[in-house]
Amino acid sequence: AQSVTQLDSQVPVFEEAPVELRCNYSSSVSVYLFWYVQYPNQGLQLLLKYLSGSTLVKGINGFEAEFNKSQTSFHLRKPSVHISDTAEYFCAVSDRNYGGATNKLIFGTGTLLAVQP
């Protein structure tokens, strides 16, 4: 079965500094990967996705992520963060089960990005 690990529960960073949020997954089949962002008191919003093709994917608000199959990682990066980027970030992997009927996502535990002035 697929699983997602986000080792960092919280990442403090100063404004205008670069940031990387780590995500590792385990799967025996090919996967689709997603990053969602949750701003305070709001629902989850899709930030970016890897479906196929180029391993570097760009999303909204200047974020990008790189799919690394050999390291089973999908880390999220931004070269310069803003105060408004303060939010919880969730990595998710498709729960691909060729034998079953499912299009579920498996979510990580989330990483709180705390941007300080």
Point out which residues bind another protein (CB under 8 A): 32, 34, 36, 42-46, 49, 51-52, 90, 94, 96, 101-105, 107, 109-110
CA dihedral 9, 15, 16, 19 (to 10 degrees): 0
Cβ distance to another protein smaller for residue 54 or 101 = 101
Determine the Cα–Cα distance for residues 96 and 47; give it in Å rounded to an integer: 21
- Which two tokens mark 20? 């990387």
Cβ distance to another protein smaller for residue 13 or 91 = 91
Cβ distance to another protein smaller for residue 53 or 117 = 53
Determine the Cα–Cα distance for residues 104 and 66; give it in Å rounded to an integer: 22
Cβ distance to another protein smaller for residue 49 or 77 = 49
The answer to whether residues 62 and 86 touch, using CB atoms and an 8 Å cutoff, is: no
Place of tokens 């070269």: 79
- Of 41, 49, 84, 44, nearest to 66 by C-alpha is 49
Nearest-approach distance from CB 11 to another protein, in angstroms:
16
Nearest-approach distance from CB 117 to another protein, in angstroms:
26
Nearest-approach distance from CB 91 to another protein, in angstroms:
11
